[in-house]
Chains A and B, each alone.
Chain A
């Protein structure tokens, strides 16, 4: 709207400071105590030396009083003449501060009085980034150094708070409920009747040993990675397509998904897990799984039909914001346009850390180790040569046969030898026009006019080619990963208000000031070129900082991960916002416990399975869900963990439980995403169909839900209705809604109906003809317990008129089936 006068301003800055008369001491005091903070916090961001909106720069008194094209905004000693007051009083437009609430009456009075007192300055107001990270900021519970391990158990920690309120921990859950809880929690599948039987038998002998053994069995089941890997994939906003208009499929994305699952199953140390996702290509060059790990950085949505600098910054913002909420529990994205409003994250920190990714590009890396890759390349080269050699006789045959056919054609024509010669040499235009076609033989005509001997010869050659093609070496699967464009960091700037067309000071890679030393050298993670000098090494430096407990973000990262694990075990975290540990987040319910768990995660070599064990073995985890009205008074939101409420299962666990109960679950792991049947109406919701129509479900699609092709523009409707996130942004805490469309899906969706029938077939097959036996097995398979007498009677009565499939479907709809006990 207004021209920016930045080119004039440096001149103004060198003007000597006007001597301040002694009688302005009241004004100076007012400036220091009241006015400076108001201007600093509300105005200077847009009205400073490098950005003076409306020719208004209040960084110094001189610039404040500058008379530009619009006159001066402030006349010292003349508040009623000073336009500024009209703007902040909202008596004149544009209302100031722009796009923000009006200043309070007290603030406005202070400014008025200060102008009356000649508007003195005690010194310039810092122009950029008013936010200074202070020692107090560093003492925030999430950022400060971890307290030493108290050595107390989880239960001791919790009991302490309970006792203070005269509460006791609830009783232990029944063994059936315990095994169902453990199994669903760790694997996302219900316990099989056989596993239940064995567990109950062992429980009778030695309850503790049986419980521990169950934990070990489940932690080593590959289904564990499929469930817990999915939790991370939410935070990593993983999908198999790029979103936006074309929602381009990414057939090379899934190796990252499989890498995550495998990392959980192998209990890859969490610090390494993070470092590889940020810089696997630099840390372990040539290692395909390390390249796959960087899929974390390429998984975000992306505009593909337009290349603008704005779009590029949107991509970088997606990476930084995702890294922030998934790893650091800090909402970095907020600092893109202005200093973070609540957390000590100046915009400068945002762009400085973004610099680590600016130099990157997406590449599709073959998923083979170097030696196998070179084997493949050799084999392929050899094959290419062979195929050329094998194709050669066919080419020769074509030439020969063409000549033969031309000869046969010419023989049929009434032409003299001279005419023929002339025709072949194209010397006679009239002749060429009349008979030219005789000389032209398309491949199709070759086929039609060749004689039997010639055709037999041809099919011999083709046979050899086809035989060879069978042996063509298969191209390796590739993974959409990231690498640096070169050894030199790309120039990086702070962008004023997030505007790529308004770059300010140039920045070098730096880390969050609130964590510690910001420069890589000072923090002890100097940038070193990697991969034979082809990579800048910035991301390796960032990765080292990320997990270093001393100088880096390791303590924060450990807290965030310990809390995430707790969150998934209990349905709610010690910190209720797993992706936000900032100052606006509710503090942890048990800060010392959180620090202890973080310490133990680190001390245990960042083993997540070790932390699972500690939590799962606690009495807190093993409580029954006993709620009483008294508890409601004292611990209404259960922040003391005085009871255990049932938690609705995620979309994946519901679908997988149905498949497991009906006996149709195909446990094949990994590979390209599967696309089950979905309703055609759900496919036609975009401008082009982005899902195959007419899919017939079967074992190939009855796989675990984590393997369903996650298309950003077409979420499987039944999963979506159960709150599957859309992968547009990092999701660290899913919604858990209750809607009638969920009920409709469970009652009427063809998938549920078909599985109900398969379930009925299974019950008849395994329980025999006895109705009661069928009902009992049905209960065992779905909710892990036999029916009560009343329930059995109700079910048998239902079965007099309705089918076993109808009953099976009822069991799939039970709250007990849909909730983690």
Chain B
């Protein structure tokens, strides 16, 4: 039956003492405060690679050599259409206006006629991928992208589907993938959080922070939401009436009294860790604003990310900030395109064309720019870029309003960099793009693949909660080797 890795029996305190004190021990507490059982031979968190040098992953991975060190997850909230972006369906052109097959269950249960894509498609790259005319810049990168064309998830309802894609189960209360990665791999940065989320200017996604929560994992693994400008983190800026000198004096007095208290409680590493956490906080106050200070970037770079175009400026800034965070050793960065409801997000129920015309130009240049930039800096090999939503869209119109309803049964995601095989394609939906018929890929498979590229065996990354060893991939999941190098 199920195998169980041995428990880490070394007491946390003992381990810390052996590991020595100082900053390294803080990262170690990350590993040791876990109640779960990791198969970590050597904690990767000890990696001391200098920031910003790019290329070559030094850390040895949790279970095996990782291909990717960081993930940038571009989440197209609302559910982007596959047949109108990267997976056109000529059959749909032919059947346009005819009745859809019987038995398609949709969220609004208002199935209109089959509806062809309003866009034209052209082939790009050596892989010959067809891409719609709204994404000309991204199209230039198809040979870097590995496509999963028949992903399926468990719900046609936004909240459960979002939770499924983010946390592995279509229910609340489970840790997000970014939290699992922080838990499993620790942090490579001592000045920044290991998991950062940036969401759309129109608002966050449905179910909000539950999408990037820690569930039952310790709260230190939760995402820190960053804004793409100004003060990036809550409580990062000093209160208005507290100057730099005053806060320094506060920290010094605090340390002095705390140290004396610690003298009376020798061996209490929790007290020690808290003393150190104040110094780390202090460093974060300096490092975080710098990390997203885009003034440091050249005009050419800004142009590359589409910062000079009103439509793409916001998402472009986030993509550029994401690259800067990757350079600084942040493990997981998740960007949301689309916020609020319906047309504000990719949720094209009412007027597919209006929706796509609005959103595609927002992301086209920024994502293309991100891929170009990562590549020219030698970072694409060690950075996994993931693109996708919580589901796709149906081949027919929703009623007569020219939009498409949710399709959880066959949708498209792509990954680039980080050990994926550029130009590869796995899975197929039927001729009209309703259901996956070949190479169906579950959400567990997607997660297993991402974890694999990060050097983690998804079956071995577990956490004991309420008597059960939980995994991101629950009880299933297969690494999709077909799209890996």
Pair A721/B203 contact, Cβ less than 8 Å: no
Q: Complex formed: what's the CA distance from A688 to B280 in Å?
A: 33
Q: At the interface, yes or no: A791 with Cβ under 8 Å from chain B?
A: yes
Pair A331/B467 contact, Cβ less than 8 Å: yes
State the main secondary structure of chain A at its contact with B.
Answer: loop
Q: At the interface, yes or no: A790 with Cβ under 8 Å from chain B?
A: yes
Q: Complex formed: what's the CA distance from A684 to B200 in Å?
A: 10
* A window 793-818: CB within 8 A of B: 794-795, 798, 801-803, 806-807, 809-810, 813-816, 818
Task: Identify A741's interface contact among B210, B242, B260, B281, CB under 8 A.
Answer: B281
Which residue of B173, B203, B236, B278 has the most chain A CB atoms within 10 A of its CB atom? B173
Q: Complex formed: what's the CA distance from A671 to B406 in Å?
A: 41
Q: At the interface, yes or no: A769 with Cβ under 8 Å from chain B?
A: no
Given A243-B172, A739-B219, A815-B275, check contact A686 B205 (CB 8 Å). yes
Q: At the interface, yes or no: A748 with Cβ under 8 Å from chain B?
A: yes
Q: At the interface, yes or no: B42 with Cβ under 8 Å from chain A?
A: no
Q: What are the residues of chain B within 8 A of A819 when measuring CB–CB?
A: 271
Pair A636/B11 contact, Cβ less than 8 Å: yes
Stretch among A57-65, A256-264, A524-532, A729-737 lining the B interface = A729-737
Q: At the interface, yes or no: A743 with Cβ under 8 Å from chain B?
A: yes
* B window 222-266: CB within 8 A of A: 222, 224-225, 227, 233-239, 241-242, 245-247, 249-250, 253-254, 256-258, 260-262, 265-266
Pair A744/B284 contact, Cβ less than 8 Å: yes
Q: Complex formed: what's the CA distance from A627 to B269 in Å?
A: 12
Count: A-B pairs, CB below 8 Å: 259
Q: What are the residues of chain A within 8 A of B466 when measuring CB–CB?
A: 321, 325, 331, 333, 579-580, 729-730, 732
Pair A334/B218 contact, Cβ less than 8 Å: no
Q: What are the residues of chain B within 8 A of A628 when measuring CB–CB?
A: 266-267
Pair A747/B281 contact, Cβ less than 8 Å: yes
Pair A740/B284 contact, Cβ less than 8 Å: yes
Pair A687/B206 contact, Cβ less than 8 Å: yes
Q: In chain A, what residue has the closest Cβ to B174?
A: A728
Given A636-B13, A744-B235, check contact A101 B2 (CB 8 Å). yes
Q: At the interface, yes or no: B215 with Cβ under 8 Å from chain A?
A: yes
Pair B210/A744 contact, Cβ less than 8 Å: no
Q: At the interface, yes or no: A738 with Cβ under 8 Å from chain B?
A: yes
Scan B133-164; emit 1 where CB is below 8 A from any A CB, else 0.
Answer: 00000000000000000000000011110000
Q: Complex formed: what's the CA distance from A719 to B459 in Å?
A: 33
Pair B467/A584 contact, Cβ less than 8 Å: yes
Task: Identify B262's interface contact among A742, A750, A815, CB under 8 A.
Answer: A815
Chain B nearest CB, measured from A396 CB (Å): 48
Q: What are the residues of chain A within 8 A of B258 when measuring CB–CB?
A: 814-816
Given A627-B265, A688-B203, A739-B219, check contact A99 B475 (CB 8 Å). yes
Q: At the interface, yes or no: B209 with Cβ under 8 Å from chain A?
A: yes
Q: In chain B, what residue has the closest Cβ to A690?
A: B208
Q: What are the residues of chain B within 8 A of A343 when measuring CB–CB?
A: 467
Task: Identify B218's interface contact among A244, A579, A735, CB under 8 A.
Answer: A735
Q: In chain B, what residue has the closest Cβ to A305?
A: B157
Q: In chain B, what residue has the closest Cβ to A816?
A: B261
Q: What are the residues of chain B within 8 A of A330 when measuring CB–CB?
A: 467
Stretch among A150-158, A535-543, A710-718 lining the B interface = A710-718
Q: What are the residues of chain A within 8 A of B24 when measuring CB–CB?
A: none
Given A684-B204, A686-B206, A815-B275, check contact A798 B249 (CB 8 Å). yes
Pair B234/A682 contact, Cβ less than 8 Å: yes
Pair A646/B225 contact, Cβ less than 8 Å: no
Pair A813/B271 contact, Cβ less than 8 Å: no
Q: Complex formed: what's the CA distance from A721 to B222 in Å?
A: 9
Q: At the interface, yes or no: A625 with Cβ under 8 Å from chain B?
A: yes
Pair A806/B2 contact, Cβ less than 8 Å: no
Q: What are the residues of chain B within 8 A of A712 when measuring CB–CB?
A: 172, 210
Q: What are the residues of chain A within 8 A of B213 when measuring CB–CB?
A: 726
Q: What are the residues of chain A within 8 A of B260 when measuring CB–CB?
A: 788, 790-791
Q: What are the residues of chain B within 8 A of A42 when measuring CB–CB?
A: 1
Q: At the interface, yes or no: A303 with Cβ under 8 Å from chain B?
A: yes
Task: Identify B267's interface contact among A101, A584, A632, CB under 8 A.
Answer: A632
Q: Complex formed: what's the CA distance from A342 to B464 in Å?
A: 13
Q: What are the residues of chain B within 8 A of A743 when measuring CB–CB?
A: 274, 277-278, 280-281
Q: What are the residues of chain B within 8 A of A99 when measuring CB–CB?
A: 475-476
Scan A638-673; emit 1 where CB is below 8 A from any B CB, else 0.
Answer: 000000011010000000000000000000000000
* A window 735-777: CB within 8 A of B: 735-745, 747-750, 753
Given A646-B268, A687-B204, A801-B249, check contact A636 B219 (CB 8 Å). no
Q: In chain A, what residue has the closest Cβ to B247?
A: A747
Pair B159/A646 contact, Cβ less than 8 Å: no
Chain A nearest CB, measured from B32 CB (Å): 12
Pair A687/B250 contact, Cβ less than 8 Å: no
Given A794-B253, A802-B249, check contact A723 B219 (CB 8 Å). yes
Q: Complex formed: what's the CA distance from A292 to B275 in Å?
A: 44
Given A679-B234, A743-B281, A748-B238, check contact A737 B219 (CB 8 Å). yes
Q: At the interface, yes or no: A685 with Cβ under 8 Å from chain B?
A: yes
Pair B207/A713 contact, Cβ less than 8 Å: yes
Q: What are the residues of chain B within 8 A of A584 when measuring CB–CB?
A: 464, 467
Given A303-B157, A685-B209, check contact A334 B467 (CB 8 Å). yes
Q: What are the residues of chain A within 8 A of B459 when measuring CB–CB?
A: 101
Q: Complex formed: what's the CA distance from A95 to B235 in Å?
A: 51
Which residue of B206, B219, B237, B260 has the most chain A CB atoms within 10 A of its CB atom? B219
Q: At the interface, yes or no: B430 with Cβ under 8 Å from chain A?
A: no
Q: Complex formed: what's the CA distance from A712 to B271 in Å?
A: 31
Q: In chain A, what residue has the closest Cβ to B475?
A: A99
Q: What are the residues of chain A within 8 A of B208 when measuring CB–CB?
A: 247, 685-687, 690, 713-714
Q: Complex formed: what's the CA distance from A717 to B236 in Å?
A: 13
Q: What are the residues of chain B within 8 A of A321 when measuring CB–CB?
A: 466
* A window 269-307: CB within 8 A of B: 301, 303, 305-306
Q: Complex formed: what's the CA distance from A810 to B160 in Å?
A: 43
Q: At the interface, yes or no: A188 with Cβ under 8 Å from chain B?
A: no
Q: Complex formed: what's the CA distance from A632 to B17 in Å?
A: 11
Pair B280/A334 contact, Cβ less than 8 Å: no
Q: At the interface, yes or no: B339 with Cβ under 8 Å from chain A?
A: yes
Pair A794/B257 contact, Cβ less than 8 Å: yes
Pair A306/B205 contact, Cβ less than 8 Å: no
Q: Complex formed: what's the CA distance from A314 to B170 in Å?
A: 10
Pair A717/B253 contact, Cβ less than 8 Å: no
Q: At the interface, yes or no: A577 with Cβ under 8 Å from chain B?
A: yes
Given A334-B467, A723-B219, A741-B281, check contact A815 B274 (CB 8 Å). yes
Q: At the interface, yes or no: B414 with Cβ under 8 Å from chain A?
A: no
Chain A nearest CB, measured from B412 CB (Å): 23
Which residue of A682, A729, A747, A802 has the most chain B CB atoms within 10 A of its CB atom? A747
Q: What are the residues of chain B within 8 A of A739 when measuring CB–CB?
A: 219-220, 277
Pair A749/B235 contact, Cβ less than 8 Å: yes
Pair A810/B206 contact, Cβ less than 8 Å: no
Chain B nearest CB, measured from A720 CB (Å): 7
Q: In chain A, what residue has the closest Cβ to B252?
A: A798
30 A-B residue pairs with Cβ-Cβ distance under 8 Å, sorted by A, are: A243-B210, A301-B173, A303-B160, A314-B171, A333-B468, A334-B468, A342-B467, A579-B466, A584-B467, A627-B265, A627-B266, A627-B268, A628-B267, A636-B13, A645-B268, A686-B204, A726-B215, A738-B29, A740-B280, A741-B234, A741-B235, A743-B278, A744-B235, A747-B238, A748-B237, A803-B246, A806-B250, A813-B278, A816-B258, A818-B274
4 tightest A-B CB contacts, nearest first: A728-B173, A686-B208, A331-B467, A743-B281
Known: A685-B208, A801-B246; 15 extra A-B contacts, CB below 8 A, are: A41-B1, A99-B476, A100-B1, A301-B172, A625-B268, A718-B235, A737-B33, A738-B29, A739-B277, A744-B235, A747-B250, A747-B278, A794-B256, A814-B257, A815-B258
B interface residues with partner A (beta carbon < 8 Å): 1-3, 11, 13-14, 29, 33, 107, 157-160, 171-173, 193, 199, 203-210, 213, 215-216, 218-220, 222, 224-225, 227, 233-239, 241-242, 245-247, 249-250, 253-254, 256-258, 260-262, 265-268, 270-271, 273-275, 277-278, 280-281, 284-285, 339-341, 345, 459, 464, 466-468, 475-476
